[in-house]
């Protein structure tokens, strides 16, 4: 769960979406170029499992597997915050939040 501001920082996938009207990775919406080599252009957005430095969650110290994120998905869901910047997205006062 990421906020609208951090949605721009998310990586784009190699294959285009079959559902075109809301997709970010089609040529019509300007999300990707024709004949673009994603192996060369998207290295900063991709998760690299071979790096020595993994980002850890600021709450539970678990390894985060999303590039640019500071919180793991389970902590972001439980707290109702953005996984990248930590901005409060929804009030969890009346919810029974569980990871299972």
Cα 44 to Cα 1: distance, rounded to the nearest angstrom: 20
**What residue segments make up the domains of the chain, in order of their start?**
51-89
Cα 82 to Cα 64: distance, rounded to the nearest angstrom: 13
Task: Please report, in tens digits, the pLDDT of each residue of the chain (100 residues total).
Answer: 789 898 888 766 666 556 666 665 556 655 566 677 767 766 665 666 676 677 899 999 998 888 788 999 999 988 999 999 999 998 888 887 766 5
- pTM reported for the whole predicted model: 0.62
């Amino acid at each position: 769960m990421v906020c609208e501001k951090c949605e721009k920082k998310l990586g784009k996938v190699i294959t285009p979406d079959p559902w075109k009207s809301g997709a970010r990775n089609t040529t019509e919406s300007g999300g990707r170029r024709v004949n673009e080599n994603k192996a060369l252009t998207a290295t900063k957005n991709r998760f690299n499992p071979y790096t020595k430095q993994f980002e850890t969650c600021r709450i539970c110290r678990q390894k985060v597997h999303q590039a640019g994120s500071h919180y793991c998905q389970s902590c972001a869901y439980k707290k109702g915050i953005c996984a990248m910047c930590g901005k409060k997205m929804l009030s969890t006062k009346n919810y029974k939040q569980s990871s299972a």
